């Protein structure tokens, strides 16, 4: 298996389809590490992740990061070194998706959740980290790569691209209307699409405007048009919207439980207040 993964890591740069017979069960972990990490950094991150001895490790290259992000963010934001890393742990079937981060400055946990649900990722606990503060845009590449191996399935390239575009567009919107509002808006629009797909672009735009109004945020014409174009693209893809809606519902419940857990109580007060505000916004628009 380890020899096969080494070959796969090299082949993936050329985005060829693959099939892998991963034998990962509930509780198993798979780790992605940026190829430009030093050996000391790799060891430190594996320890931070709580990775068991012999954990499956795959490498993510800077070339791959540019492949999936080059259309959506400046090259300078992606950089020339791959250091973002992640740990994906297989959850019990139908328990949903969770995300936690460290040293991620621009992309929030909820933004990752939304993008991963678009990509079809489900039933996994994901931890995203880096040895220094990074924007977080590059991390999604490795997470999807790890999920494909852990779930033994190939996510179509156009859906991977759409997930990355969604993550970046949500982060940009967050700079304008607030990160929690941006994540909640994207999630709520998705939930409404899962219930009843808009028949045309006009209905889609009206749906986005309605959800923004409920959230009490104002979108500029440019932002509204950008979101309409994004969701139109998502609608045109072969996305399982029923699964997206189901994962959204499970993520809402799990986020609430995290805030009430011992780990949640141990967070610094300022951070807990910030994350609680996000949870409150999301919960209010799912009720």
Which pLDDT belongs to residue 157?
A: 92
Is pLDDT at 7 greater than 70 in this prediction? no
List the chain domain ranges.
28-157, 178-285
Q: Over the stretch 141-157, which tens digit does the pLDDT of each residue have?
A: 999 999 998 888 899 99
What secondary structure does DSSP assign to 96-124, as a single string?
Answer: -EEEEESSB-SS-HHHHHHHHHHHT--SE
Is pLDDT at 103 greater than 50 in this prediction? yes
CA dist., res. 106 & res. 168, Å (int)? 9
Length of the chain equals: 287
Strands 29-34 and 124-129: unpaired
Q: Over the stretch 239-255, which tens digit does the pLDDT of each residue have?
A: 888 888 888 887 765 43
Q: Please answer whether residues 90 and 124 qualify as being in contact, where contact means their C-beta atoms are separated by less than 8 angstroms.
A: yes
Q: How far is CA 229 from CA 50, 106, 115, 205, in A?
A: 40, 22, 16, 9
Q: Over the stretch 40-75, which tens digit does the pLDDT of each residue have?
A: 999 999 999 999 999 999 999 999 999 988 888 888
Name residue, tokens 């852990």: 150
pTM value is 0.77
Q: Please answer whether residues 90 and 24 qualify as being in contact, where contact means their C-beta atoms are separated by less than 8 angstroms.
A: yes
């Amino acid at each position: 298996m380890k020899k096969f993964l080494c070959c796969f890591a090299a082949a993936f740069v050329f985005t060829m389809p693959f099939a892998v017979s991963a034998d990962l069960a509930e509780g198993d972990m798979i780790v992605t590490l940026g190829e430009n990490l030093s050996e000391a950094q790799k060891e430190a991150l594996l320890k931070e992740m709580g990775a068991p001895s012999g954990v499956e490790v795959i490498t993510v290259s800077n070339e791959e990061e540019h492949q999936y992000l080059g259309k959506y963010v400046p090259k300078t934001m992606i950089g020339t070194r791959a250091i973002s890393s992640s740990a994906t742990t297989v959850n019990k079937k139908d328990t949903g998706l969770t995300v936690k981060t460290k040293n991620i400055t621009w992309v929030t946990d909820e933004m990752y959740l939304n993008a991963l649900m678009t990509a079809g990722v489900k039933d996994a606990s994901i931890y995203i980290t880096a040895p220094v503060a990074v924007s977080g845009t590059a991390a999604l590449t490795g997470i999807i790569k790890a999920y494909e191996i852990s779930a033994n399935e190939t996510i179509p390239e156009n859906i991977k691209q759409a997930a990355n575009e969604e993550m970046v567009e949500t982060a940009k919107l967050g700079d304008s209307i607030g990160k929690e509002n941006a994540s909640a808006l994207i999630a709520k629009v998705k939930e409404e699409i899962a219930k009843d797909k808009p028949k045309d672009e006009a209905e889609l735009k009206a749906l986005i405007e309605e959800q923004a109004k409920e959230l009490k945020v104002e979108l500029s014409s440019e932002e509204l048009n950008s979101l309409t174009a994004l969701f139109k693209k998502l609608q045109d893809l072969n996305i399982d919207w029923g699964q997206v809606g189901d994962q959204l519902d499970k993520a809402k419940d799990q986020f609430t439980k995290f805030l009430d857990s011992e780990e949640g109580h141990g967070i610094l007060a300022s951070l807990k207040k910030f994350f609680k505000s996000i949870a409150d916004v999301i919960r209010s628009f799912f009720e």
